[in-house]
Amino acid sequence: MTSRLSTGLPQLDEMLGGGLLPGTLTVVIGATGIGKTQLGLHFAHAGRAQEGEAGILLDLTTRGDSQNQAEYARSLFDWKFREFATEEVSDVGDVWQRDLARHDFLHLFRRSGRRVTQADLTVEEWQEWNAELARKLDRAVQFFYGNFVQGVRRCVLDGIEPTERDSDSFQFQVIDYVYHQILRKDDDWVARDLFRVHFRSQADNVAAHRYDHRDIACVLLYTSHETLLDDLLARPIESGDALSNANTIILMGKVRDGLRMRRALHVAKHRGSACDDRIVPFEITERGIVIEESA
Protein backbone atom coordinates (compact mmCIF):
# COMPACT_ATOMS: atom_id res chain seq x y z
CA MET A 1 0.00 0.00 0.00
CA THR A 2 1.31 3.48 -0.88
CA SER A 3 2.03 5.43 2.30
CA ARG A 4 0.90 8.80 0.91
CA LEU A 5 -0.83 10.08 -2.20
CA SER A 6 0.42 13.37 -3.63
CA THR A 7 -2.15 16.12 -4.18
CA GLY A 8 -0.12 17.27 -7.17
CA LEU A 9 0.76 20.43 -5.21
CA PRO A 10 4.11 20.05 -3.39
CA GLN A 11 3.39 22.82 -0.86
CA LEU A 12 0.04 21.25 0.05
CA ASP A 13 1.69 17.82 0.36
CA GLU A 14 4.14 19.38 2.80
CA MET A 15 1.26 20.89 4.80
CA LEU A 16 -0.34 17.42 4.94
CA GLY A 17 2.76 15.72 6.27
CA GLY A 18 3.56 14.16 2.90
CA GLY A 19 0.18 13.94 1.19
CA LEU A 20 -3.21 12.27 1.57
CA LEU A 21 -3.64 8.83 3.09
CA PRO A 22 -4.88 6.01 0.83
CA GLY A 23 -8.22 4.50 1.73
CA THR A 24 -9.56 7.80 3.08
CA LEU A 25 -12.00 10.56 2.20
CA THR A 26 -10.86 14.17 1.83
CA VAL A 27 -13.46 16.95 1.73
CA VAL A 28 -12.49 20.28 0.15
CA ILE A 29 -14.94 23.02 1.18
CA GLY A 30 -15.31 26.44 -0.44
CA ALA A 31 -17.60 28.71 -2.41
CA THR A 32 -18.16 28.56 -6.16
CA GLY A 33 -15.12 29.75 -8.12
CA ILE A 34 -12.59 29.50 -5.30
CA GLY A 35 -10.52 26.77 -7.02
CA LYS A 36 -11.90 23.45 -5.76
CA THR A 37 -12.16 21.88 -9.21
CA GLN A 38 -8.57 22.85 -10.04
CA LEU A 39 -7.38 21.28 -6.79
CA GLY A 40 -9.32 18.11 -7.59
CA LEU A 41 -7.75 17.95 -11.04
CA HIS A 42 -4.25 18.42 -9.63
CA PHE A 43 -4.91 15.46 -7.33
CA ALA A 44 -6.40 13.29 -10.08
CA HIS A 45 -3.65 14.04 -12.59
CA ALA A 46 -0.91 13.29 -10.03
CA GLY A 47 -2.02 9.65 -10.15
CA ARG A 48 -0.48 9.35 -13.61
CA ALA A 49 3.02 9.83 -12.17
CA GLN A 50 2.48 8.05 -8.87
CA GLU A 51 0.30 5.03 -9.75
CA GLY A 52 0.64 4.98 -13.53
CA GLU A 53 -3.03 5.94 -13.99
CA ALA A 54 -4.70 9.33 -13.58
CA GLY A 55 -7.68 9.56 -11.26
CA ILE A 56 -11.32 9.73 -12.33
CA LEU A 57 -13.99 12.43 -11.90
CA LEU A 58 -17.70 12.04 -11.19
CA ASP A 59 -19.73 15.21 -11.87
CA LEU A 60 -23.02 15.40 -9.97
CA THR A 61 -24.14 18.78 -11.34
CA THR A 62 -27.77 19.04 -12.44
CA ARG A 63 -28.02 22.75 -13.18
CA GLY A 64 -26.98 24.32 -16.48
CA ASP A 65 -23.68 25.74 -15.24
CA SER A 66 -20.68 23.53 -15.97
CA GLN A 67 -17.77 22.81 -13.66
CA ASN A 68 -15.46 23.06 -16.74
CA GLN A 69 -13.49 19.99 -15.67
CA ALA A 70 -12.66 18.91 -19.24
CA GLU A 71 -11.51 22.41 -20.24
CA TYR A 72 -9.34 22.77 -17.15
CA ALA A 73 -7.84 19.32 -17.67
CA ARG A 74 -6.97 20.12 -21.28
CA SER A 75 -5.48 23.56 -20.55
CA LEU A 76 -3.57 22.56 -17.40
CA PHE A 77 -2.28 19.11 -18.33
CA ASP A 78 -3.14 18.52 -22.00
CA TRP A 79 -5.40 15.81 -20.62
CA LYS A 80 -8.27 14.89 -22.95
CA PHE A 81 -11.06 13.25 -20.98
CA ARG A 82 -12.47 9.92 -22.14
CA GLU A 83 -16.10 10.29 -21.06
CA PHE A 84 -18.16 7.34 -19.87
CA ALA A 85 -21.55 7.12 -21.57
CA THR A 86 -24.61 7.06 -19.32
CA GLU A 87 -26.83 4.88 -21.49
CA GLU A 88 -27.54 1.34 -20.33
CA VAL A 89 -25.90 -1.77 -21.79
CA SER A 90 -28.23 -4.47 -22.98
CA ASP A 91 -25.78 -7.40 -22.93
CA VAL A 92 -23.66 -8.21 -19.89
CA GLY A 93 -21.11 -9.80 -22.22
CA ASP A 94 -20.43 -6.30 -23.52
CA VAL A 95 -19.32 -5.05 -20.14
CA TRP A 96 -15.66 -6.12 -20.14
CA GLN A 97 -15.10 -4.95 -23.72
CA ARG A 98 -16.96 -1.65 -23.67
CA ASP A 99 -17.99 -0.54 -20.18
CA LEU A 100 -14.96 -1.70 -18.24
CA ALA A 101 -12.59 0.05 -20.63
CA ARG A 102 -10.61 2.97 -19.18
CA HIS A 103 -12.58 6.23 -18.81
CA ASP A 104 -11.79 9.51 -17.03
CA PHE A 105 -15.10 11.25 -16.51
CA LEU A 106 -18.77 10.56 -15.85
CA HIS A 107 -21.47 13.21 -15.69
CA LEU A 108 -24.13 11.16 -13.95
CA PHE A 109 -27.29 13.23 -14.43
CA ARG A 110 -28.63 15.30 -17.28
CA ARG A 111 -28.58 19.04 -16.65
CA SER A 112 -32.12 19.95 -15.67
CA GLY A 113 -31.52 23.66 -15.22
CA ARG A 114 -32.39 23.60 -11.53
CA ARG A 115 -31.10 22.29 -8.24
CA VAL A 116 -32.63 18.95 -7.34
CA THR A 117 -33.72 18.78 -3.73
CA GLN A 118 -36.87 17.39 -2.24
CA ALA A 119 -38.17 20.92 -1.64
CA ASP A 120 -37.82 21.77 -5.35
CA LEU A 121 -39.97 18.88 -6.57
CA THR A 122 -43.49 17.58 -6.23
CA VAL A 123 -43.97 14.14 -4.69
CA GLU A 124 -44.36 12.59 -8.16
CA GLU A 125 -41.24 14.35 -9.49
CA TRP A 126 -39.23 13.26 -6.46
CA GLN A 127 -40.32 9.64 -7.05
CA GLU A 128 -39.25 9.94 -10.71
CA TRP A 129 -35.84 11.29 -9.65
CA ASN A 130 -35.37 8.42 -7.22
CA ALA A 131 -36.22 5.91 -9.95
CA GLU A 132 -33.69 7.56 -12.26
CA LEU A 133 -31.18 7.60 -9.41
CA ALA A 134 -31.41 3.82 -9.02
CA ARG A 135 -30.67 3.34 -12.73
CA LYS A 136 -27.80 5.83 -12.68
CA LEU A 137 -26.19 4.19 -9.67
CA ASP A 138 -25.87 0.99 -11.68
CA ARG A 139 -23.86 2.95 -14.24
CA ALA A 140 -21.78 4.51 -11.48
CA VAL A 141 -20.82 1.02 -10.28
CA GLN A 142 -19.67 0.16 -13.81
CA PHE A 143 -17.70 3.40 -14.10
CA PHE A 144 -15.82 3.02 -10.83
CA TYR A 145 -15.27 -0.74 -11.01
CA GLY A 146 -14.09 -0.56 -14.62
CA ASN A 147 -11.44 1.99 -13.71
CA PHE A 148 -10.33 0.39 -10.45
CA VAL A 149 -9.65 -2.96 -12.13
CA GLN A 150 -7.31 -1.08 -14.48
CA GLY A 151 -5.18 0.51 -11.79
CA VAL A 152 -6.97 3.76 -10.92
CA ARG A 153 -6.54 4.51 -7.22
CA ARG A 154 -8.00 8.01 -6.81
CA CYS A 155 -11.35 9.62 -7.56
CA VAL A 156 -12.87 13.09 -7.35
CA LEU A 157 -16.56 13.87 -6.72
CA ASP A 158 -17.48 17.33 -8.04
CA GLY A 159 -20.52 19.53 -8.63
CA ILE A 160 -21.90 19.32 -5.09
CA GLU A 161 -24.37 22.19 -4.68
CA PRO A 162 -25.09 23.89 -1.33
CA THR A 163 -28.41 23.10 0.34
CA GLU A 164 -30.01 24.01 3.64
CA ARG A 165 -30.03 20.34 4.64
CA ASP A 166 -27.78 17.74 3.00
CA SER A 167 -30.45 15.07 3.56
CA ASP A 168 -32.77 16.90 1.13
CA SER A 169 -30.35 16.63 -1.78
CA PHE A 170 -30.16 13.62 -4.07
CA GLN A 171 -26.44 14.36 -4.49
CA PHE A 172 -25.75 13.21 -0.95
CA GLN A 173 -27.66 9.99 -1.60
CA VAL A 174 -25.23 9.38 -4.45
CA ILE A 175 -22.22 10.30 -2.30
CA ASP A 176 -23.34 7.97 0.48
CA TYR A 177 -23.85 5.12 -1.99
CA VAL A 178 -20.54 5.66 -3.80
CA TYR A 179 -18.59 5.93 -0.54
CA HIS A 180 -20.11 2.95 1.32
CA GLN A 181 -21.17 0.62 -1.51
CA ILE A 182 -18.28 1.12 -3.97
CA LEU A 183 -15.23 2.79 -2.46
CA ARG A 184 -15.25 1.04 0.92
CA LYS A 185 -16.43 -2.37 -0.25
CA ASP A 186 -14.35 -5.42 -1.17
CA ASP A 187 -13.89 -5.59 -4.94
CA ASP A 188 -15.58 -8.96 -5.39
CA TRP A 189 -18.72 -7.65 -3.68
CA VAL A 190 -18.73 -4.59 -5.96
CA ALA A 191 -18.49 -7.06 -8.86
CA ARG A 192 -21.49 -8.95 -7.46
CA ASP A 193 -23.48 -5.70 -7.41
CA LEU A 194 -22.42 -5.06 -11.00
CA PHE A 195 -23.04 -8.48 -12.54
CA ARG A 196 -25.79 -9.72 -10.21
CA VAL A 197 -27.28 -12.93 -11.66
CA HIS A 198 -24.41 -13.10 -14.19
CA PHE A 199 -21.72 -13.05 -11.50
CA ARG A 200 -20.93 -16.79 -11.73
CA SER A 201 -20.32 -16.54 -15.47
CA GLN A 202 -17.96 -13.59 -14.86
CA ALA A 203 -16.18 -15.03 -11.79
CA ASP A 204 -12.95 -15.87 -13.64
CA ASN A 205 -12.70 -12.35 -15.07
CA VAL A 206 -13.37 -10.89 -11.62
CA ALA A 207 -10.67 -13.06 -10.05
CA ALA A 208 -8.18 -11.96 -12.71
CA HIS A 209 -8.84 -8.27 -12.01
CA ARG A 210 -8.62 -7.99 -8.22
CA TYR A 211 -7.85 -4.68 -6.51
CA ASP A 212 -7.62 -3.56 -2.88
CA HIS A 213 -10.20 -0.90 -1.99
CA ARG A 214 -7.98 0.21 0.90
CA ASP A 215 -5.61 1.77 -1.65
CA ILE A 216 -8.27 4.10 -3.07
CA ALA A 217 -8.51 7.74 -1.97
CA CYS A 218 -11.48 9.99 -2.66
CA VAL A 219 -11.64 13.80 -2.77
CA LEU A 220 -15.10 15.35 -2.41
CA LEU A 221 -15.44 18.95 -3.62
CA TYR A 222 -18.14 20.51 -1.44
CA THR A 223 -19.61 23.90 -2.40
CA SER A 224 -20.38 26.09 0.61
CA HIS A 225 -22.58 29.13 1.12
CA GLU A 226 -19.66 30.75 2.98
CA THR A 227 -17.17 32.74 0.89
CA LEU A 228 -14.80 34.04 3.57
CA LEU A 229 -12.27 31.67 5.09
CA ASP A 230 -13.05 33.08 8.55
CA ASP A 231 -16.67 31.96 8.14
CA LEU A 232 -15.56 28.49 7.06
CA LEU A 233 -13.27 28.25 10.07
CA ALA A 234 -16.22 29.00 12.33
CA ARG A 235 -18.37 26.33 10.69
CA PRO A 236 -18.80 23.05 12.66
CA ILE A 237 -16.68 20.52 10.77
CA GLU A 238 -18.39 17.43 12.14
CA SER A 239 -21.87 18.29 10.86
CA GLY A 240 -23.28 16.09 8.12
CA ASP A 241 -22.36 12.57 7.08
CA ALA A 242 -19.87 13.61 4.40
CA LEU A 243 -17.86 15.65 6.88
CA SER A 244 -18.03 13.07 9.66
CA ASN A 245 -16.63 10.42 7.28
CA ALA A 246 -13.77 12.68 6.20
CA ASN A 247 -10.25 11.88 7.29
CA THR A 248 -9.05 15.23 5.92
CA ILE A 249 -10.85 18.56 5.54
CA ILE A 250 -9.34 21.41 3.50
CA LEU A 251 -10.97 24.83 3.60
CA MET A 252 -10.63 27.29 0.69
CA GLY A 253 -11.88 30.86 1.02
CA LYS A 254 -11.26 34.58 0.66
CA VAL A 255 -9.13 36.56 3.14
CA ARG A 256 -8.51 40.30 3.40
CA ASP A 257 -4.99 41.45 2.55
CA GLY A 258 -4.88 45.21 3.03
CA LEU A 259 -7.17 46.76 0.42
CA ARG A 260 -7.70 43.57 -1.60
CA MET A 261 -9.13 40.10 -1.15
CA ARG A 262 -6.99 37.01 -1.71
CA ARG A 263 -7.58 33.30 -1.87
CA ALA A 264 -6.21 31.15 0.97
CA LEU A 265 -6.52 27.59 2.23
CA HIS A 266 -6.27 25.86 5.59
CA VAL A 267 -6.06 22.19 6.61
CA ALA A 268 -8.80 22.02 9.23
CA LYS A 269 -8.53 18.29 9.89
CA HIS A 270 -6.06 15.56 8.97
CA ARG A 271 -6.71 12.54 11.17
CA GLY A 272 -3.80 10.20 11.84
CA SER A 273 -1.10 12.62 10.75
CA ALA A 274 0.63 15.81 11.79
CA CYS A 275 -0.31 18.76 9.58
CA ASP A 276 0.51 22.43 9.11
CA ASP A 277 -1.97 24.70 10.89
CA ARG A 278 -1.19 27.88 8.92
CA ILE A 279 -3.52 29.81 6.64
CA VAL A 280 -1.70 29.84 3.30
CA PRO A 281 -2.48 32.19 0.37
CA PHE A 282 -2.71 30.79 -3.16
CA GLU A 283 -3.44 32.02 -6.67
CA ILE A 284 -5.15 30.56 -9.72
CA THR A 285 -2.88 30.86 -12.75
CA GLU A 286 -2.46 29.25 -16.17
CA ARG A 287 -0.60 26.48 -14.32
CA GLY A 288 -3.53 25.95 -12.02
CA ILE A 289 -3.22 26.45 -8.27
CA VAL A 290 0.02 28.06 -7.10
CA ILE A 291 0.44 28.04 -3.31
CA GLU A 292 2.59 30.70 -1.70
CA GLU A 293 5.99 29.36 -0.65
CA SER A 294 6.56 28.84 3.06
CA ALA A 295 7.97 31.83 4.85
Q: Is 53 helix (H, G, I), strand (E, B) or coil?
A: coil
What is the layout of strands, in order, in the sheet containing 217-223? 105-107, 56-59, 154-160, 217-223, 25-30, 248-257, 260-270, 280-285, 288-291
Contact 253, 56 (CB under 8 A): no
Give kind and range of the element (H or E) at residue 54: none
Average pLDDT, the chain: 87
Instruction: Considering only the C-alpha atoms of the chain, give the largest distance between any 2 of them, rounded to a whole number of Å.
Output: 67
Over residues 141-172, the pLDDT tens digits come to 999 999 999 999 999 999 887 777 666 677 88
Q: Mean pLDDT over residues 53-81, rounded?
A: 87
Q: Report whether pLDDT(9) > 90.
A: yes
Contact 39, 252 (CB under 8 A): yes
Q: Nearest-CA neighbor of 53 among 63, 65, 45?
A: 45
Domains along the sequence of the chain with CATH: 10-291 (3.40.50.300)
Q: Nearest-CA neighbor of 175 among 159, 154, 152, 197?
A: 159
User: Ranked by mean pLDDT, which of 102-116, 132-146, 177-191 comes out on top?
Assistant: 177-191
Would you give the distance in Å from CA 263 to the centre of its chain? 22
pLDDT band of 295, cuts 50, 70, 90: very low
- Provide the whole-model pTM: 0.91
